[in-house]
Amino acid sequence: MEKKQFQAESKRLLEMMINSIYSNKEVFLRELISNSSDAIDKIYYKTLTDDNLTFDQDNYYIKVGADKENRTLTIKDTGIGMTKEELENNLGIIAKSGTLAFKKETEIKDGHDIIGQFGVGFYAAFMVADVVTVISKALDSDQAFKWQSEGTEGYTIEPHEKADVGTEITLKIKENTEDESYDEFLEEYRLKEIIKKYSDFIRYPIKMDITEKRPKDDNEEELVDHTEEQTINSMVPIWRKNKTELTDEDYENFYTEKRYGFDKPLQHMHIQVDGTIRFHALLFIPENIPFDYYSKEYEKGLELYSNGVLIMDKCADLLPDYFSFVKGLVDSEDLSLNISREMLQQDRQLKLISKNISKKIKNELKKLLKNDREKYEKFFDAFGRQLKFGVYNDFGANKDMLQDLLLFYSSKEEKNVTLDEYVSNMPEDQKYIYYATGESIDRIEKLPQTELVKDKGYEILYFTDEVDEFAIKMMRTYSEKEFKSVSSGDLGIESDDDKKETESEEIENKELLDKMKEILAGKVKDVKVSNRLKSHPVCLSADGEVSIEMEKVLNQMPD
Ligand code: ADP
Ligand code: MG
C-alpha cells in the first residue's frame, strides 16, 4: 500500500475549506452526485458512439445509502470510473490548472469562493466526513483501486476487488461536536430533501432504499418497517421543464450547480424553439464580471447537448464574441451525437441555432433596457465594453444588432443615455451627434472644445473608453445622423459671418501665427484662429478623421 502526501497547495486549501465557516454543509452531496452524473454522461456517450458497447437504460443510475450504525454514507454510480492514475490526479491535486496561483490566498474570503473557483467539488466531502473512501473501476480496466484519505494528511491507494465498472464513495460521517451535529446526513428524509433540492434535474435516477412504516397485511393495526427502492429525483432536466413550473430560485440553483459563476445570475433566458430547428436553451447573464473575463484564459461557449446527452462542454460557435459573457446550454434533437468538432463548425443546424440565440439575447437585453433601466445599467457596467468591441470588430456588420444596446454618458442628462434617446432630444437645427473623448468625465468637462457646442444647447456624449470612438467610427451614422467630435475641424455650427470674421482675423494676425508655428514646429501641424473658444485662450484640435484620443491609442498599438 502506498501512502502519498497531498501537494502542499492542496493541503493548505483543504484545511482552509474544512475549517471555513461554510454555512451550507449539505452541498457536499450535490457535488458528489454531480460528479457521478458527469461520469455516467461519459460512459453513456461512449456507448452511444461505440458500436461495441451496448446501452441499457437500467444500467445507469446513482445510489445513495446511509448506514446509521456505522455512521457511513455511500454514493455509488455506474459511471466511467477512474484508473489508478485518475484517482491520483483527479482526487489528489486541487489546483490542476494553476488556478490557485491565480487567486491569492488573501483574496479568498469564504468557502463559497473556494468551491466555486477551484472545482474542489469532491473535497466538499471532508466538510462532513473524517474519512473518505473511493473504490473505482474504470471502463477498459481489469483492476479496481481503493483510494482513501482522512483529509489533510494525504491518501493511500491500493488494488481492490470490484466487479462492475463505476465508482463507490463512502463517507465516514463526523461525530457530533458541541456546536455541530452531523446526524442529519444519515437521515433518509434529510438526504431525500437535499437530493430534491439540488439534484432533481440530474438525468439519471438517484435511488435510495427508503424504509417506511406500513400496515402489516393481515393485521391493519400493526405497523412494520417496509423497505423499498425509490427514485428520488424527477430526472427531467430543468431546461425541458415548463417555465411556469420553475421559480427564480430553481434557476439560481441550477446556475450554481453548473458552476457558471459564483455570483447569482443577473438574468436568465429559458428558450424553447419548435420550428424548422428544434432546441431548448437555458442562458444566463452573470451579475459580475468573471474574474478571468478580460484575460486570454477566458473561454466563451455554451454546453451542447444532443437530445439530453452532453456532447461538448464549451461550444464556442454558439456565441458571438460580443455575447461571450453569456453562460448556459443548448439541447437539440436535431444534432447528431457523432458529430466531431470540425464538422460542428460546418453544421447548418448549429449555425441556425447560434443565429437564433443571438437574436434572443439581443431582444432580452433590449427588453431589460426598456423595463428595468437600473438592472440594465448594471449589466452594461460589466459587459458594455464587449458590445462596443462587437460593433468595432466586425467592421460595423453587427451595428444593427448592437447599436441600440449602447449607453454613453450625456453632458446634458449627466447620466447614461442611448443613442436613440440622444437623437430624440436633438433640437431641430442640430445636424450631428457630438461627442468628446477623454480619460474621465471630469477631464472631458474641462475641455475647451466642449464649450461652444454646449452653448448652442447641444448634448455631448462623453467617450471615456478607448473603444468608444473606434466603435462609432465603424457605425458612421446613427439614425442617419453623423457622429462628430467636438475637437474636429468643422463643427458644423459656425455661421457664414463667423467664418468670415475668423478669416479676417487670420489675415490680421498672420505674423503672430507664423511665429507661433515656428516655435511649435514638429509639435503641431498648424496654428489657427478659432471662434469656438469662450473662456479658454487656446485648444488643440484634430485635423481630419482621427481624433487626438484615437491617435494616442493607435500610437500605442504594435505595428
Ligand atoms: P470537477 O467536477 O469540477 O472536475 P471535482 O473535485 O468535483 O471537480 O472532481 C474532480 C475530478 O475527479 C472530476 O473531474 C472527475 O475526473 C473525477 N471524479 C470525481 N468523482 C468521480 C466519479 N464519481 N466518477 C468518475 N470520476 C470522478
Ligand atoms: Mg465536480
Three-class SS of residue 220? strand
Cα 137 to middle of ligand 1, angstroms: 14
Ligand 1 center–CA 314 separation, angstroms: 18
Give residue 105 CA to ligand 1 midpoint distance, Å.
Answer: 23
- Other C-beta atoms within 10 Å of 532: how many? 21
Where do we find the cell 489657427?
A: 528
* pLDDT tens digits along 490-528: 777 776 777 777 777 778 878 887 888 888 887 777 877
Angle made by CA atoms 304, 309, 314, in degrees to the nearest 5: 25
Q: Using an 8 Å Cβ cutoff, are 438 and 446 in contact?
A: no
> What's the DSSP call for residue 43?
H
Give residue 259's pLDDT: 84
Q: Which atom of ligand 1 is nearest to the CA of 166?
A: 24
State how far the alpha carbon of 486 is from the alpha carbons of 38, 224, 345, 398, 438, in Å. 57, 87, 45, 26, 12
Nearest CA to ligand 1 atom 10: 90
Amino acid 341: pLDDT: 60
448-463 residue pLDDT tens: 888 888 988 999 999 9
- Range list of H helices, 225-338: 248-257
pLDDT above 90: residue 373: yes
Query: Which residues are CB-contacts of 380 (< 8 A; sequence separation ≥ 6)?
Result: 387, 405, 407, 416
pLDDT computed for residue 95 by the predictor: 37
- From 35, 36, 99, 100, mutation site for ligand 1 pocket: most ligand atoms within 8 A of C-beta: 35
Ligand 2 centroid, distance to 92 Cα (angstroms):
14
359 and 326 Cβ atoms separated by less than 8 Å: no
Nearest CA to ligand 1 atom 7: 121
Phi, psi of 412 (to 5 degrees): -85, -50
How much is the average pLDDT of 359-376?
Answer: 96
> Do the Cβ atoms of 150 and 125 come closer than 8 Å?
no
* Mean local confidence (pLDDT), 379-395: 91
Q: Which residues are annotated as a binding site?
A: 31, 35, 77, 82, 90, 96-98, 117-122, 167, 341
What is the best residue among 30, 120, 122, 303 to mutate for testing ligand 1's pocket, by most ligand atoms within 8 Å of CB? 122
Phi, psi of 528 (to 5 degrees): -130, 160
Ligand index nearest the alpha carbon of residue 42: 1
Residue 333 has pLDDT above 60, yes or no: yes
What pLDDT is recorded for position 104? 42
The CB of 488 under 6 Å from ligand 1? The reply is no
**Residue type at 187 in one-letter notation:** E
Residue 462 near residue 436, CB atoms below 8 Å: yes
Ion ligand 2 — residues with CB < 5 Å: 35, 121
Half-sphere exposure of 514 (CA within 13 A, CB side): 5
pLDDT tier for residue 557 given thresholds of 50, 70 and 90: low
Q: What H or E segment, with its residue span, contains residue 80?
A: none
Please tell me if the CB atom of residue 208 comes closer than 6 angstroms to any atom of ligand 1. Answer: no
Residue 208: which H helix or E strand, with range? strand 206-216
Beta bridge partners of 81: none
Lowest mean pLDDT among 162-171, 383-392, 468-477, 505-514: 505-514
Q: Are 368 and 376 in contact (CB under 8 A)?
A: yes
Local structure of 119: helix, strand or coil:
coil
Percent of the chain with pLDDT over 70: 84
Looking at ligand 1, which atom is closest to the CA of residue 121?
7
Q: How far is the CA of 125 from the centre of ligand 1 (A)?
A: 12
Q: What is the pLDDT of residues 37-75, one digit of tens each?
A: 989 989 988 888 888 877 777 889 999 999 999 999 999
* Ligand 1, atom 20: closest residue by C-alpha: 35
Triad 353, 356, 360: Cα angle to 5°:
135
Can you give the pLDDT at residue 265? 96
Alpha carbon 207 to its chain's center: 32
- Closest C-alpha among 113, 101, 129 to residue 10: 101
Q: Is 199 helix (H, G, I), strand (E, B) or coil?
A: helix
Helix axes 466-475, 373-393, angle to 10 degrees: 70
